[in-house]
Structures are given as C-alpha cells and as structure tokens.
Amino acid sequence: MRCERVVYPGHCVAISCPRLYAHEHDGTRWIGCIDAVFTCEVDVDALLALEDAHLGFGALRAEGRPRPQCKAAIDRTFPQRDSGGCTEPAFRTSYPDAPQGREPLRTRDG
C-alpha cells in the first residue's frame, strides 16, 4: 500500500492561515503556501465555490512538513488496489516529529 501525506487548503482559507499568500493573474485569484506545505497554487474562487457547495475542495499532496495548524492526513494512494498499512520503508520514519496529538501513521479512512 502506497500512502501520501496530504493537506487541505480549504482549511487554510477557513482559519485565515497567515502562511497563505495570494495574487491575481489574468483576473483569477490564486493562493499558495509560503512554507511550501503544498507547492501548487490554487484558484481561490474555485476552492471557495466547492467548499460553499459542501463538496469540499479536497486534499493536496503535502510537499513540505505540515505546520501545527494544518489540517493534514495520511491518504492511501490506490485504496481499491491494496490493503494493509503503508509499506514504503522510509514512510514510517520520514516524519518522526509530528505535532503533538497528530499520529503520523493514521490514515484518513481509519
């Protein structure tokens, strides 16, 4: 089972995270993370529309170490193909200093 750490940029907007930056390009507002917890930029209007419709924007792969205020999880890459725990050898030790109260090996599904 392959797993990835993910973060939820909708939560970053909801808590007005001070580590977000924003800019406008060609009439579209974009947000990103100063700390590179997620490295892509997100169309903030699309994100808000999905959050407002209660569909949720969803998660992005965590490229950097999530900060304590980040809503983060461990997500199984292909849950329909595999069963069991995360099998990447380095995965269990690559984030040993998880913020207190956040278990780094807990998956979104349990």
Q: What single string gives the DSSP state of each residue in 8-51?
A: -HHHHHHTT-TTEEEEEETTEEEEEETT-SS-S-EEHHHHHHHH
pLDDT confidence of residue 75: 79
* DSSP bridge partners of 5: 74
Sign of the CA dihedral running 86, 91, 97, 98: negative
Q: What confidence category does residue 101 fall into, taking pLDDT thresholds of 50, 70 and 90?
A: very low
Rounded Cα distance, 50 and 56, in Å: 5
pLDDT tens for each residue of 31-78: 999 999 999 999 999 999 998 888 888 899 999 888 989 998 887 776
Average pLDDT over residues 16-34: 95
pLDDT of residue 31: 95
In this prediction, residue 30 carries a pLDDT of: 96
**Percentage of the chain lying above the pLDDT 90 cut:** 42
Which band of pLDDT confidence, cut at 50, 70 and 90, is reported for residue 99? Answer: very low
